[in-house]
Chains A and B, each alone.
Chain A
Amino acid sequence: MKRIASVLFLVLWTVALCVPDAARILAQNTKLVRFEKFPRKQENRRAATRPSFHRSSKRYVPWRELGRGYEAWYNDRFPWRTELLRFHRRVTFERLKIPSGRSVPGRGDWIFRRGGDWPELDDYLGAFELPPEKLDQWVTLFEGRREWAEALGSVYLTMPAPVKAQVRWQMMYPALQRHRGRNVGAQIREALEGSPARDDVLFVDEDFERAVASGREVFFDANHHPDAYGQWLLYDRINRRLAERFPGRVGETPPWFDEPPPDVLEGRAPGCWRQRDGDGLRLDVSSPGEIEDDHGVSVNARRFPYCNVATVREGGGLSILMAHDSYMRFTLASWRRKIGSVRFPFAPGVGSVRAHIFQRFTHGFLENAIRDDLPDVFIEQFPECRLNGTVSLFLDPQTSAAAAFGRAVDPAGRAPAAGARVAARAVFDGVRADPGHDSLVAVLLAGDRELAREPFFPGVKRAVFFSPVAIPADVSPGAGLAVRLEDGAADATNFVWRLAAEGR
């Protein structure tokens, strides 16, 4: 009996390991066996090619790498590989909840992300504790941007949008839920307490949590984007702040309007269906294209390469220049994208929107963007987990100087005393450069003594900030501060100086 069992077992496994090659030979020469093609889209790569000895061949592989090359080629053509991968995913990822790469499965079809460029779970666990200097950099950035925009008569709003793990933590597996830490957003919120920029940095976590508590879903389960309702909440938060900053000019957010009808939710409506694409059941997100109205800036693609949405409403209103990511790409989440135009949930009173997707504002970008057209509002949206990223990329000397000016105090007299540290701001209207010059220079003077120089560009309106500088001892007492333009001229100049705050 044992001998029979041995032979059976031996035959079983020997045959089992011969089956793939036999199947491959059959598939190549007959139509008896068929395999699915290599899933190039899902793996985001081409299948490995068979290595070649010939140097002239595109498939040439050095002789040292030949074994590895053959193995890679074979592995990508392993019979039933695609089917096995799919089965493996269902078993391990969906049933056993084994993380795959940076994707961490949660309850049901929920997926969260870790590490890399989207460390939402790491942030949930409190893995990022920002040092005081980095927190100060963030605050400086927010204050600097606010001060710069205020000088131009605009408003600068920043929205670190909540990520899925912060709001839908109930859908993680229990071991993770229990270990919630202090995330980066909370640290920055704390650091912003008492800062004039606090109210212009829009945290939306509480709105999202309220929505979830009331039974509304705000995120897709299988991808990391807010769903249409979640995105509507982001717009609503912006609208509410605009209404505060521009009383009487901005109305209320249009009531929630993008609820898919039951036949869409159930997959019965033509054009909108639920699809299983490996991420679980969800609304199909293949968009036929962004909604793009006519707008001057979208014509000049070289200056604004990522401008994907530009709308102009009849009747005018506030103009908005926005940098955002897919979190506010309403076309991505709206069920209507399949059947017609998508309406953006901006409040009445918003006249034109120029939105740059996958863009973060640098000072250079902003200066370029306002050359001909000064918006009423700047909005910058990015996910909260980006707050762990590099601040210095956006914190240029002008923004730091603007923040320092904002923190400075108004002087008591008309002229600063020798040794006093002063921060200064000059706002120019209708700035023109002299022929042969691309840029101008603003020179800060104490009497006839030059204290600092700041180059800047022509435009309808410019704000130039001078970093805090100490008044030299040899400046004649009572000499006032002034600003002088070189290489160009301005229609009007508004110059203000203050005494720099101690220690900042």
Chain B
Amino acid sequence: MVFGSLYYLTVFLPPVLLVHWALQALARRWPVAATFAANVWLLAASIAACVLSDLPGLPWFLGCAVATDLIARAIAAAGPRRPRLRKTLLAFALAGDLALLCLFKYGGTLSRWIDALAGCALVPAAELAVPLGLSFWVFRSMSYVWDVARGVHPPARTPIDLLCYLALFPIFVSGPIVRWADVAGSFRARPFSAALAASGWRRLLVGLAKKILVANQLAPMADAVWAVAEGGGGMSPGMAALGVASYSLQLYFDFSGYSDMAIGLGRLLGFDFRENFLWPYASASIREFWRRWHVSLSTWFRDYLYIPLGGSRRGTARACLNGIVVFTLCGAWHGTGWMFPLWGLWHGLLLCLERLFGPRRAKGEPPPRRSSAAATFRFFAAHAYAIAAIAFGWILFRSATPAAAGAVLRSLAGLAAPDPASRALWLECTPVFETALAAGAALCIPIVPALRRALRRALPEWLVWTAESVAATALGAVALLFLAAGTRQSFLYFQF
């Protein structure tokens, strides 16, 4: 059961929301009891969603959540006077979380490696079905324990709150990786707000439309191009470029659509999650890209890996090394196989090069004014570099093997003889694909916020708000029609 399914939207969501809103309304009179009841209700709904989506994974999740709660309370009870115990408990919790992650994500690969080295079947094939959302709830669990150990925040008031936070259905499957510190207040009190809930609906509908009307329409071209590449065939440079552009936009609209839906659902329930995508394709460097793409993941790696490794405090060389290590691990987090770490390594290397050779600005210094022709050229060159580097990264990310990535790259460079089978790629150039591509290219840069600002200057706010709601309703209705017709595809980030 995923966000973009009829079952989720029409069977699961309405009763959950209605009961939750009723409890929020009661919280005005009985704030503590009603909020507690709302948390229990949310937990029950989240567990129900988990049961319906991935019943076999539920025991693993519950085990991890209970252990996290117990260890966090033990860390807090140990107090600052017993640092060794705190560290030991923290290490134990983190090791357990990482072991869980490794067992499910790399168990099969590791057992195959061991068997290959031994030349016989030493280790039983550990091809376990990965529990739904494993990477996300393990990371939330790790950040929670770590922050308790660092004294960033105390443990949750009750185990219900923590379980509810870890199981929260809008963010359970594919994030964003919301920190406890950001939502702890909402577990204590989250009064009903019609404006927040309405903005939540709008966000949910926009996310659904991004996924179904743009990402899904671009998917066939990307899939077809990579199918040719994975078969070892070449294609024309234009077709390869079209495939890479399609995949780049598909990934963005798919994942940012999912994040929009999660944020929207959060608002419907009274939570205000941070933005996870800040127009990443408007970046002028890889460093900027990672401040805009999957923000909750990049900040997680920054706070819990990069900074503990020393960050940039120990000189440029060490900062570069740290960056490379962090991004390689960030790539490995996305999945098994060599291509994901390679993608992470690519980004780590680019960040290192940008650190060494990129323009330096003191903290707080404003960006240079783009008045001269040279500055304008630099501006466009920087964006072109960033887009090319990101796209190269997506080629590694999407390809199952280095050979497939090589086939796409050779085709892009015009070095591969076009395979006759690649001529069938023209079949994907439907009018709707062309429209989705154009819409995706236009909407992946911050045109909508600029338009909104312009409208707000010209029109009363309520009118702009209503116009946006009407647009969201139209988009949502079309997306739901597509959904009802069964054109739904699973979100790309589910596989991570």
Contact = CB atoms under 8 A, between A and B. Distances in A.
Given A9-B202, A13-B201, A125-B426, A74 B481 contact: no
A67 B53 contact: yes
A122 interface: yes
B11 interface: yes
Interface in B1-34: 1, 5-7, 9-11, 13-14, 17-18
A186 interface: no
B110 to A, nearest CB: 24
B5 A71 contact: yes
Contacts of B195: 2-3, 6
Contact of B465 (A2, A70, A74, A179): A2
Interface stretch (B321-329, B448-456, B482-490): B482-490
A5 B465 contact: yes
A122 B481 CA distance: 30
Contacts of A447: none
A496 B431 CA distance: 62
A60 B436 CA distance: 42
A6 B195 CA distance: 5
Given A71-B1, A88-B481, A96-B432, A18 B14 contact: yes
B13 A17 contact: yes
A125 B460 CA distance: 54
Nearest to A129: B420
B426 A176 contact: yes
Contacts of A88: 481-482, 484-485
Interface string B466-479: 10010001001000
Contacts of A125: 423-424, 426-427
A494 interface: no
B426 A175 contact: yes
Interface string A82-120: 001101110110001111000010000000001100010
A405 B197 CA distance: 83
A179 B423 contact: yes
Contact of A9 (B1, B55, B201, B484): B201
A420 interface: no
Contacts of B422: 127
Contacts of B55: 63-64, 66-67
A30 B466 CA distance: 37
A96 B487 CA distance: 15
A447 B316 CA distance: 91
B402 interface: no
Nearest to A13: B201
Contact of B56 (A17, A64, A97): A64
Contacts of B198: 5-7, 9-10
B194 interface: yes
B315 to A, nearest CB: 52
Contacts of A267: none
B465 to A, nearest CB: 5
Per DSSP, are chain A's interface residues mostly helix, strand or loop, or mixed?
A: helix
A87 to B, nearest CB: 7
Interface in A171-224: 173, 175-176, 179, 181
A74 to B, nearest CB: 5
Given A21-B11, A126-B420, A181-B423, A67 B52 contact: yes
Interface string B143-162: 00000000000000000000
Contacts of A81: 484
A70 B52 contact: yes
B433 to A, nearest CB: 9
B6 A74 contact: yes
Contacts of A104: 427, 430
Nearest to A179: B426
B7 A75 contact: yes
A44 to B, nearest CB: 14
B357 interface: no
Contact of B430 (A66, A97, A115, A179): A97
B430 A85 contact: no
Nearest to A7: B194
A1 interface: yes
A121 interface: yes
A128 interface: yes
B461 interface: yes
A: interface residue count bin: 35 or more
B426 A21 contact: no
Interface string B422-450: 11101101111010000000000000000
A147 to B, nearest CB: 31
Contact of A99 (B13, B430, B482): B430
A470 to B, nearest CB: 38
Nearest to A114: B427
B413 interface: no
B275 interface: no
Given A67-B53, A104-B427, A75 B6 contact: yes
Interface in B99-138: none
Given A2-B462, A10-B197, A70-B7, A126 B423 contact: yes
Which of A2, A75, A92, A121 has the largest number of chain B CB atoms within 10 A? Answer: A2
B461 to A, nearest CB: 6
A98 B9 CA distance: 25
Which of A87, A114, A175 has the largest number of chain B CB atoms within 10 A? Answer: A175
Given A14-B17, A17-B13, A70-B52, A6 B423 contact: no
B403 interface: no
A5 B198 CA distance: 9
Interface string B189-219: 0000011011101100100000000000100
Contact of B194 (A10, A98, A176): A10
A12 interface: yes
B7 A74 contact: yes
Nearest to B200: A10
Interface string A57-83: 000000110110011001100100100
A228 B429 CA distance: 33
A478 interface: no
Contacts of B486: 75, 85
A2 B461 contact: yes
A20 interface: yes
Contacts of B484: 78, 81, 84-85, 88
A121 B476 CA distance: 33
B11 A74 contact: yes
A278 to B, nearest CB: 13
Nearest to A85: B485
A173 B466 CA distance: 38
A1 B469 CA distance: 14
B421 interface: yes
Given A64-B56, A71-B52, A121 B427 contact: yes
A106 to B, nearest CB: 11
Interface string B380-413: 0000000000000000000000000000000000
Contacts of A14: 14, 17-18, 201
Interface in B36-79: 51-56
Given A70-B7, A175-B429, A5 B466 contact: yes
A66 to B, nearest CB: 6
25 contacts: A2-B195, A2-B462, A2-B465, A3-B194, A6-B198, A17-B10, A17-B14, A21-B10, A67-B1, A71-B5, A75-B6, A78-B6, A84-B485, A87-B481, A92-B432, A104-B427, A115-B424, A122-B423, A122-B427, A125-B423, A125-B427, A127-B422, A128-B421, A173-B430, A175-B430
Interface of A: 1-3, 5-7, 9-10, 12-14, 17-18, 20-21, 63-64, 66-67, 70-71, 74-75, 78, 81, 84-85, 87-89, 91-92, 96-99, 104, 114-115, 119, 121-122, 125-129, 173, 175-176, 179, 181
Given A6-B465, A74-B11, A87-B481, 6 more contacts: A70-B7, A75-B5, A78-B6, A97-B430, A125-B423, A127-B423
Give 9 closest A-B pairs by Cβ, nearest first. A129-B420, A88-B485, A67-B52, A6-B198, A127-B424, A1-B462, A2-B462, A125-B423, A84-B484
